[in-house]
Amino acid sequence: MTTEKRNRTNLKYVAGLLGILGFLISGACTNLYAATSSRIILDVIDTQDLTITGTVISSDDGMPVPGANVILKGTTTGTTTDFDGNFAIDVPSSNSVLVFSSIGFASKEVTVGNNTTINVSLDMDVSALDEVIVVGFGTTKKETLTGAVEQISSEVFEDRAVSNVALALQGQTPGLTVNRSSSRPGNENVNLQIRGVTSINGGSPLIVIDGAPAFDDSEFFQMNPDDIESISVLKDGAASIYGSRAANGVILVTTKKGKGKMKIEFNSNTRMNFLGLKPPFPSYQEYGQLWLDTAEQDLAATGVANYWNWGEEALQGIASGQAGYYATPIVDGWGEGGFLYLAPADRYEDLYGSNIGHQQSLSLSGSSDQARYRLSMGVSESQGALKTAYDGIKQFSVRLNTDFDITERLNLATNISLQKNRTSSPSSGFGRGLVGQDAPIFPAKNSLGQWYGNFGRYSTNSIAATSEGGRDDLEENIAKISLNLKYDLGSGFSVNATGTYNHVNSRQDITQLTVPVFGWEGESYNEAVNSTSSIETVHLTNEYQTYGGFLNYETKLGKHNFKAMVGMTAELNEFKGLSAKRTDIVNEGVFDLAVASGVPTIGGAGNNNNRGQDHDGLYSYLTRLNYDYNEKYLVELVGRRDGSSRFAPGFKFNNYGSASVGWNIHKESFLENLESLSNLKLRASIGSSGNQAGIGRYDYVSTISQGTELFGEGGTLSNTASVAGITTTQRSWEVVTIKNIAIDFGLFNNKLSGTFETYERENKDMLLGRSYSALLGGDAPETNIGNLKTTGWEAMLNWKDQKGDFSYNIGVNMSDNTNELVNLEGGGGSIQAGYNQLVEGFPLNSYFVFETDGLFQSQAEVDAYNALYDKDGSSVPNGGNALRVGDTKIVDLDGDGSINAINQDNEKGQGDIKYVGDAQTHYVFGINLGAKYKGFDFTAFMQGALQQNVLRQGVSAFPFNNPWPNQTNAYNDLTWTPENTGATYPRLTAQRTLARWNWSNTDTFIQNNKYIRLKNIVIGYSLPADVLDKLNMDKIRIYVSGNDLFELSSLVDGYDPEDGNVPTVTDSNVQTSVYPFQRTVAVGVNLAF
């Protein structure tokens, strides 16, 4: 037996075992399945004169291209390259033209001439029409694509120093938005959205990795970026093939497979992270000066300077930068008898700094005639800007992709991966907003080196809390095995079956340690960060199984091409959780439940702490038909029937479908003579899919909630029980319909290409809790009564050209969408000043602000205003807070003689506030630049937005929203003073009632966030081939890359533009988004041998 044969036999055993394993996993419900095989069947004609041989290699890496098509132009005659890229083809004459093409490469035409050997180097190409696009359950040529599908190549992940692959997608394709609510690695809370929000109940795109749905977004977020071959974003009805989970679009991730001779690649980079934009927080002196400037205004306005509880002397001292004891009026509360030690304490400097991260990946890949394999490993570490304690994530991953041709007709592909993440951060100190909260006047440590309490004694000290208040450690393991068996039945038929098993477990240990704080001289006030120490351990296990079985058929009748597929998919998600908590853990360096002394409390885990276990499932039937006439007229039809365990019997199933058509106009005879037009295509689609996001697993089941109540002389707890809430069985899926019209064009041999798409999406059955009369006695369950409509557009324009050794490309894309809550059925409540999540007839997350008419410039103006509007029921401040010169003049928009967000009859939207827009980022754009010259490469990517309303909330939103915390200094010199009466912003005042009147929710305070940021820039150099040959290497490339190095922003208050808004913060005492953004510079190397 030859080695090869033995290997093949062994492979058969392995494949057989894997098959058996697959059947075991899927139990009785396993079934067969096959993927659409779109391999072009070539008619090989063997009566020719000339035989041409040669090799096809990739210009990118010089590696042979196996399976490339070599076709005699104008015929269907052709061959494919073998495993080493070699081909041999007979051609009729020396005038013959050979067309070389392969997936992912630009096709190339070569006239035979006198050559008998033709070696061709193919350029990588992502936008050519021959490009094969990964679509739901298969692939299709871009030329015959009818849906809104955008494919992103692996390039966007290369050299990017990001801890989360999703962040590299930001701005890459129009319509896909990537938001993060924090810059803390591992705690970014990345949110993906395709074409905006689909439902008030939430939902995010379905992510499918190599045909298997990801168990949740984090499986994708934590992937090794070097493993990703391409990403397809399905934006319209094309996503309908994923029916039950496709309402928010679909992201298809394809991982790299082995190809060609064995290759080892190693990539490594080291990143240096620097602090980005500094939030607008003052230094010690500036803080004092801001107070004094404010007191001066209050004095001029009322004759009484408001020094709050600081007193003038302390503020003078702070302003002059002098540390020392100051007497304050708070005799009993602060420090010792009101004597308070204050000194410069820049919390921003103390908390944040630079650090280093790294990322390495190693892969081994290759293929033989019967098998393809790729084994990869990755490791990375990323840290946030916090310097008082470790705040970061370590990621490890192993992935093995193999693919065996067991027989000529039977193929088994397996993907096995293990991802492990360790996120570790301080457990305390984040809740109070770090620098947003602490004024820069309380040193972290007292004269004895102990933690110093803010205000001389209180327990807020973010440096103490983050550095010693305990840790929050999360370890998550995602193990996944995915099997895909294909069988070619012949005559155009094939079947395939997939089975995927995901095992996810996580363990989180949250320790909270007591950190005593002291007075300046070590006085003890029994105050501490975390007055009770505790440890909580949460253990979660998820088992997620998905199955699919498909029958495919493909045929060709003359110029009529048909493809058909029927199949089913099923998935089951089982969840188990357990948590335990004990108080009184002592800091002995060992942090485990076992070393705490408090009585343990045990609970479930997860979103609802009472829940110990859960499961849910989906079951779907699907079919797809494709037809095209000579690749000119294209039609695709999709049908689905989806069932969900989350609905009551009788309401579980719903049907979805889509229809899309395409017209390759450039193929029409009347355009054939137009040389410059290489592509012109019209596409249109309509499709529906289902959404069940935000719906509990058993919401239709009425449950009993149990508790306790105390009775008896000795005080004993007795059980209580009540029906948990009002439920209904009468509800079903949200059905989301999307209509898409698009035009694609290419000019000058596709040097210039572009796409414009416009769409309308409607969620007509949005689940919504209607308002009922209170007599109902509970919140009504959500029923399918809402309607949310989104309209938007996307545009893309790319130019690429080559001049000798110099090639370059420029791409721009932009998109926008707006939504409207068409119908809320009385839900949503009254309109508030500021942020409103749900208002009928307006977009989600709308802003309503007071209209202002400048500032009062004279006391006469104030008096006239008060005479009109200072009355009962009007919110005009009076008494000690009476308006003065320099304050904001709010307009009585509804003319009811009173200033109020809501008018006196409480009619919706009829107060003195007006709609100014929503919180969404609009006109989001990306600009890609790339150039190559010999061994040098350069890419730059810029991203930005042209419009976003930002209305700050929270303690540091504007000066003196509250007097006690830190203050923003962004408005210094921009406020009204008698010397600067033309100022945009109102006078400073430390009276918070007035400050809030002047600033809160006004049209002057709302900002338009317009920005452009250099997200990424890479300069690389690859060693030339002759050097590599000497070194026996295939590739050596070194590069320098930078992330977020530069930006232009229209924000007045200096926060990071990508922090955007925090619309959900309604509590004026909490300030979020002060964790700084980092700039990153990385140096790296790519090796292949």
The region, left, alpha or beta by phi > 0 then psi within -120 to 50, assigned to residue 608 is: beta
CB atoms within 10 A of CB 293: 17
In whole angstroms, the minimum distance from the beta carbon of 993 to another protein comes to: 13
Three-state SS string across 1047-1083, please?
A: EEECCCCCCCHHHCCCCCCCCCCCCCCCCCCEEEEEE
Cα gap 487→495, rounded to integer Å: 5
Nearest CA to 526 out of 466, 462, 459, 460 is that of 459
Residues 27-66 that bind another protein (CB under 8 A): 28-29, 31-32
Q: Which is nearer to another protein, 418 or 882 (CB)?
A: 882
In whole angstroms, the minimum distance from the beta carbon of 698 to another protein comes to: 4
Q: Is 722 in the site for another protein (CB under 8 A)?
A: yes
Cα gap 812→178, rounded to integer Å: 17
In whole angstroms, the minimum distance from the beta carbon of 493 to another protein comes to: 7
* Alpha helix segments (H runs only) across 716-772: none
Per-position x/- string for 819-858, each x denoting binding to another protein as judged by CB under 8 A, each - no binding: -------x--xx----------------------------
In whole angstroms, the minimum distance from the beta carbon of 422 to another protein comes to: 29
In whole angstroms, the minimum distance from the beta carbon of 670 to another protein comes to: 42
Which tokens sit at 340? 């308070």
In the list 25, 124, 264, 551, the residue contacting another protein (rule: CB under 8 A) is: 551
DSSP H or E segment with residue 746: strand 734-747
In whole angstroms, the minimum distance from the beta carbon of 189 to another protein comes to: 24
In whole angstroms, the minimum distance from the beta carbon of 551 to another protein comes to: 6
Q: Which stretch binds another protein (CB under 8 A): 421-429, 615-623, 914-922, 1003-1011?
A: 615-623
Cα gap 1045→422, rounded to integer Å: 27
Three-state SS string across 308-353, please?
A: CCCCHHHHHHHHCCCCEEEECCCCCCCCECCEEEECCCCHHHHHEC
Q: Is 612 in the site for another protein (CB under 8 A)?
A: yes
Q: Is 619 in the site for another protein (CB under 8 A)?
A: yes
Residues 631-660 that bind another protein (CB under 8 A): 643-645, 649, 652
In the list 396, 698, 915, 1089, the residue contacting another protein (rule: CB under 8 A) is: 698
Q: Look up residue 30 and give its amino acid.
A: T
In whole angstroms, the minimum distance from the beta carbon of 599 to another protein comes to: 10
In the list 714, 804, 895, 982, the residue contacting another protein (rule: CB under 8 A) is: 714
Which tokens sit at 268? 């490594």
In the list 721, 867, 982, 1030, the residue contacting another protein (rule: CB under 8 A) is: 721
In the list 239, 570, 951, 955, the residue contacting another protein (rule: CB under 8 A) is: 570
In the list 54, 549, 639, 1063, the residue contacting another protein (rule: CB under 8 A) is: 549
For residues 771 and 827, the answer to whether their CB atoms sit within 8 Å is: yes
Q: Is 571 in the site for another protein (CB under 8 A)?
A: yes
The backbone torsions φ and ψ at residue 1029, rounded to the nearest 5 degrees and listed phi first, read -60, -40
Q: Is 717 in the site for another protein (CB under 8 A)?
A: yes
In whole angstroms, the minimum distance from the beta carbon of 715 to another protein comes to: 3
Q: Which is nearer to another protein, 524 or 830 (CB)?
A: 830
Cα gap 510→537, rounded to integer Å: 6
CB atoms within 10 A of CB 410: 16
Cα gap 200→192, rounded to integer Å: 15
User: How many angstroms separate the most distant Cα atoms in the chain?
Assistant: 109
Residues 727-766 that bind another protein (CB under 8 A): 728
Per-position x/- string for 372-411, each x denoting binding to another protein as judged by CB under 8 A, each - no binding: ----------------------------------------
Q: Which is nearer to another protein, 490 or 895 (CB)?
A: 490
- Neighbouring residues of 970: CB distance < 8 A, sequence distance ≥ 6: 280, 1052, 1053, 1054
In the list 300, 418, 568, 868, the residue contacting another protein (rule: CB under 8 A) is: 568
Q: Which is nearer to another protein, 202 or 829 (CB)?
A: 829
Per-position x/- string for 488-517, each x denoting binding to another protein as judged by CB under 8 A, each - no binding: -x-x-x-x----------------------
User: Dihedral sign, CA of 154, 157, 163, 168?
Assistant: negative
In the list 398, 410, 479, 726, the residue contacting another protein (rule: CB under 8 A) is: 726
Cα gap 304→881, rounded to integer Å: 12
Q: Which is nearer to another protein, 124 or 780 (CB)?
A: 780
Residues 252-311 that bind another protein (CB under 8 A): none
Sole residue written with tokens 């809370």: 189
The region, left, alpha or beta by phi > 0 then psi within -120 to 50, assigned to residue 152 is: beta
- Count of chain residues binding another protein (CB under 8 A): 75
Q: Which is nearer to another protein, 431 or 873 (CB)?
A: 873
Q: Which is nearer to another protein, 30 or 790 (CB)?
A: 30
In whole angstroms, the minimum distance from the beta carbon of 368 to another protein comes to: 31
For residues 230 and 153, the answer to whether their CB atoms sit within 8 Å is: yes
Residues 572-601 that bind another protein (CB under 8 A): 572
Q: Which is nearer to another protein, 228 or 538 (CB)?
A: 538
Q: Which is nearer to another protein, 409 or 615 (CB)?
A: 615
Residues in the chain: 1089
Cα gap 534→530, rounded to integer Å: 9
Nearest CA to 918 out of 819, 787, 830 is that of 819
In whole angstroms, the minimum distance from the beta carbon of 821 to another protein comes to: 18
Residues 898-957 that bind another protein (CB under 8 A): 902, 904, 906
Residue-by-residue DSSP string for 937-980 = EEEEEEEEEEE-EE---STTSSTTSSSSS----TTTTTB-BTTB
In whole angstroms, the minimum distance from the beta carbon of 779 to another protein comes to: 9
The backbone torsions φ and ψ at residue 15, rounded to the nearest 5 degrees and listed phi first, read -60, -40
In the list 10, 76, 706, 984, the residue contacting another protein (rule: CB under 8 A) is: 706
Q: Which stretch binds another protein (CB under 8 A): 413-421, 608-616, 655-663, 998-1006?
A: 608-616
In the list 541, 587, 771, 1004, the residue contacting another protein (rule: CB under 8 A) is: 771
In the list 13, 716, 979, 1032, the residue contacting another protein (rule: CB under 8 A) is: 716
Q: Which stretch binds another protein (CB under 8 A): 181-189, 200-208, 362-370, 770-778?
A: 770-778
In the list 384, 519, 604, 657, the residue contacting another protein (rule: CB under 8 A) is: 604
Cα gap 890→679, rounded to integer Å: 56
CB atoms within 10 A of CB 973: 10
- How open is the CA angle 684-686-688, to the nearest 5 degrees? 155
Q: Which stretch binds another protein (CB under 8 A): 228-236, 341-349, 703-711, 962-970?
A: 703-711
- Neighbouring residues of 769: CB distance < 8 A, sequence distance ≥ 6: 779, 780, 781, 782, 783, 827
Per-position x/- string for 1002-1041, each x denoting binding to another protein as judged by CB under 8 A, each - no binding: ----------------------------------------
Q: Is 703 in the site for another protein (CB under 8 A)?
A: yes
Interhelix angle for 312-319 vs 284-302, to 10°? 140
In the list 46, 408, 675, 713, the residue contacting another protein (rule: CB under 8 A) is: 713
In the list 723, 1027, 1031, 1048, the residue contacting another protein (rule: CB under 8 A) is: 723
For residues 295 and 357, the answer to whether their CB atoms sit within 8 Å is: no
Cα gap 257→254, rounded to integer Å: 9
For residues 720 and 708, the answer to whether their CB atoms sit within 8 Å is: yes
Q: Which is nearer to another protein, 408 or 709 (CB)?
A: 709
